[in-house]
Amino acid sequence: MKKSTLILSLLLFASIVTVLYLAVDRYNIRSSSPNFEDQVILGEMTMMVLGNKQYQDIASKETVYAIKQGVSRFNGGDPASMATYVVSVVTDKQSYIFTCVDQACTDVSNRSWNYSRYIENDPVLPLDIVE
């Protein structure tokens, strides 16, 4: 094989690998980033979380640092399910993950727990500084 053919083959292979990597990366970002419709749903869910008794119990016992919204379209069984939307309440002890209790999302409930970065790290914002 000629040297120029080998170089062109390597460039073609590298470009194909790069395009495939970028396509998969973009798909993953779109699968976990909320679009405008998702943001509206998550906004309403957040308001439901703030009025929920479970949240109020958590807020009375722990310091709430953040409320994060998320979406995951990797639900293979039913990608249009309301279970793809989550609202995480992040405290100094752990993260509480709220999801809809049914497909119509008539209410939200704390369905699972997760690690909180605030166990080992300080808040990012200077929350304790008073001017």
Nearest to 113 by CA among 79, 76, 88, 77: 88
DSSP 7: H
Domain assignments of the chain as residue spans, ordered by start: 1-32, 34-119
Give pLDDT, residue 38: 84
For 105, left (φ over 0), alpha (ψ -120 to 50), or beta? left
Q: Which of 80, 75, 85 is nearest to 46 (CA)?
A: 85
Question: 81-116, pLDDT tens digit by residue?
Answer: 556 788 999 998 899 999 888 888 899 999 888 877
> Which of 71, 67, 68 lies closest to 79 in space, CA to CA?
71
| pLDDT of res. 17 | 94
User: Distance (Å, rounded) from C-alpha 92 to C-alpha 123?
Assistant: 9
pLDDT average, residue stretch 27-42: 79
Better pLDDT: 73 or 52: 52
Q: What is the mean pLDDT of the chain?
A: 83
pLDDT digits (tens, 9 = 90+) for 58-77: 999 998 988 999 887 665 55
Average pLDDT over residues 10-36: 85
